[in-house]
Amino acid sequence: MPMKYIGPESYFNFDHNGNRVVVYHCYKNGNADRPLEYHFTTDYDEDERYSFDVRDLGSLELQPSNTGFDDAAQEIIIDAIRSGAVKLPEED
């Protein structure tokens, strides 16, 4: 039976310079049932050039199971995108 590609699930989105930016989950070995806890991408097609580990971007002291993790991670990601530390596909 042929496999069907399923795009990544949106983690969150926000406005940046008048454009809507979507940050997506990354998956272990392409398995849509297993999103990685710290790895995200700004590219729907999952090009590795736009993937990143949120722990590399700032001081994230919370674990994914803790309350407040998503808010803290999203703030770090937004700051990294705005500063240019994380690239967007449309910028290349």
Q: What is the Cα–Cα distance from 92 to 83, expressed in whole angstroms?
A: 15
- Give domain status of residue 46, yes or no: yes
Question: Range of 19's domain?
Answer: 10-84
In a domain? residue 92:
no
* Residue 89, in any domain of the structure: no
Q: 80 or 7: which carries more pLDDT confidence? A: 80
Say what the pLDDT of residue 62 is: 66
The answer to whether position 51 is within a domain reads yes
Q: How far is CA 65 from CA 1, 7, 19, 55, 60, in A?
A: 36, 24, 31, 15, 13
- pLDDT tens for 12-22 read 999 999 999 99
Q: How confident is the model at residue 2 (pLDDT cuts 50, 70, 90)?
A: low
Q: DSSP assignment, residue 2?
A: -
| Residue 1 included in any domain | no
Q: How confident is the model over 51-78, as pLDDT tens digits?
A: 999 999 987 676 666 778 888 899 999 9
Let me know if residue 91 belongs to a domain.
no
pTM: 0.85
Number of domains in the chain: 1
DSSP code per residue over 7-69: PPPEEEEEEETTEEEEEEEEEGGG-TT-EEEEEEES-TT--GGGEEEGGGTS---S-TTSTTH
